[in-house]
Structure 1
Amino acid sequence: MKIHQLRALVAIADTGSVRGAARLINSSPAAITQCLQLLEESVQMQLVLRTPSGVTLTASGQTLLTHARLVASQVTRAHEAMDALRGNTRKRLSVAVTAWVALAFLPGAVARFRARMPQVQLELFEGLLAIANPRLRDGSLDVYVGRQTPGATSSEFTYRPLFASSRAVVARRDHPNAESRSLADLLHLDWLVALDPETEGHASYRMFAQHGLPVPRSIHYLHSLTVAVALLRGTDMVSIFPWPLVELCAERDGLRAVPVREQLDDSMVGIITRTGEPADAASRCFIDCLIETVRAEEWTQAPDIRRAMHSVEILI
Structure 2
Amino acid sequence: MRNAHLRDLIAVVETGSVRSAARKLGLAQSAVSKNLTALEKSVGVPLLMRSVRGVEPTELGRLVLRRARVVDAELRHLQEEIERFSGQCQNLITVGLSATAEAMLLSEAVARFREYTPDALISVLGGRSSSTIAALREARIDFAVGPLPTDQSVTDLHTEQLCSSDLAIFVRADHPAAGARDLASLASYGWVYSVRQAGEPAIVSLMRKHGLPDPKLVAHCDSSSALVDMLLQSDYVALNSLGALEPLRQRGLLKILPIDLDLPPAVQYLLTPTMRPLTAPAAALAAEFRRASRRLRR
The structure-2 alpha-carbon separation of the partners of 1:103 and 1:245, relative to structure 1 and needing over 3 Å to count, comes to closer
Whole-angstrom CA distance in 2 between matches of 1:124 and 1:195: 20
The structure-2 alpha-carbon separation of the partners of 1:26 and 1:195, relative to structure 1 and needing over 3 Å to count, comes to farther
The unaligned stretches of length 5 or more in structure 1 are 298-311
Q: CA deviation at 1:242?
A: 0.9
Residue equivalent to 2:264: 265
SS class of match (1:240): strand
8 Å CA contact retained: 1:48, 1:61: no
SS class of match (1:10): helix
SS class of match (1:69): helix
Residue equivalent to 2:48: 47
The structure-2 alpha-carbon separation of the partners of 1:212 and 1:77, relative to structure 1 and needing over 3 Å to count, comes to farther
Aligned counterparts, 1:163-312, within 5 A: 163-194=163-194, 201=200, 205-218=204-217, 220-250=219-249, 254-293=253-292
The structure-2 alpha-carbon separation of the partners of 1:202 and 1:193, relative to structure 1 and needing over 3 Å to count, comes to closer
Which residue identity is paired with 1:123? S
Residue equivalent to 1:303: none
Residue equivalent to 1:313: 297
SS class of match (1:269): strand
- TM-score by structure 2 length? 0.79
Q: Deviations over 1:20-67 (max 9, x none)?
A: 43344443333223323333443523514265x754445554444333
Residue equivalent to 2:135: 135
Q: Deviations over 1:76-131 (max 9, x none)?
A: 44556677888988842111233454445434432333343445432222364254
SS class of match (1:149): coil
The structure-2 alpha-carbon separation of the partners of 1:45 and 1:285, relative to structure 1 and needing over 3 Å to count, comes to same
The structure-2 alpha-carbon separation of the partners of 1:65 and 1:219, relative to structure 1 and needing over 3 Å to count, comes to farther
Aligned counterparts, 1:50-69, within 5 A: 51=52, 54-58=54-58, 60-69=60-69
Q: CA deviation at 1:138?
A: 1.4
SS class of match (1:291): helix
SS class of match (1:239): strand
Cα RMSD (Å)? 3.6
Whole-angstrom CA distance in 2 between matches of 1:71 and 1:282: 20
Task: Report the number of matched residues.
Answer: 297
SS class of match (1:31): helix
Whole-angstrom CA distance in 1 between matches of 2:55 and 2:243: 44
Which residue identity is paired with 2:142? D
Residue equivalent to 1:158: 158
Whole-angstrom CA distance in 2 between matches of 1:202 and 1:45: 39
Q: CA deviation at 1:142?
A: 0.9
8 Å CA contact retained: 1:188, 1:218: no
The question of 1:72 aligning with 2:72 is answered yes
- TM-score by structure 1 length? 0.75
The structure-2 alpha-carbon separation of the partners of 1:61 and 1:199, relative to structure 1 and needing over 3 Å to count, comes to farther
Whole-angstrom CA distance in 2 between matches of 1:35 and 1:204: 51
Whole-angstrom CA distance in 1 between matches of 2:130 and 2:143: 15
Which residue identity is paired with 2:94? S
Which residue identity is paired with 1:44? V
The unaligned stretches of length 5 or more in structure 2 are none
Whole-angstrom CA distance in 1 between matches of 2:127 and 2:51: 34
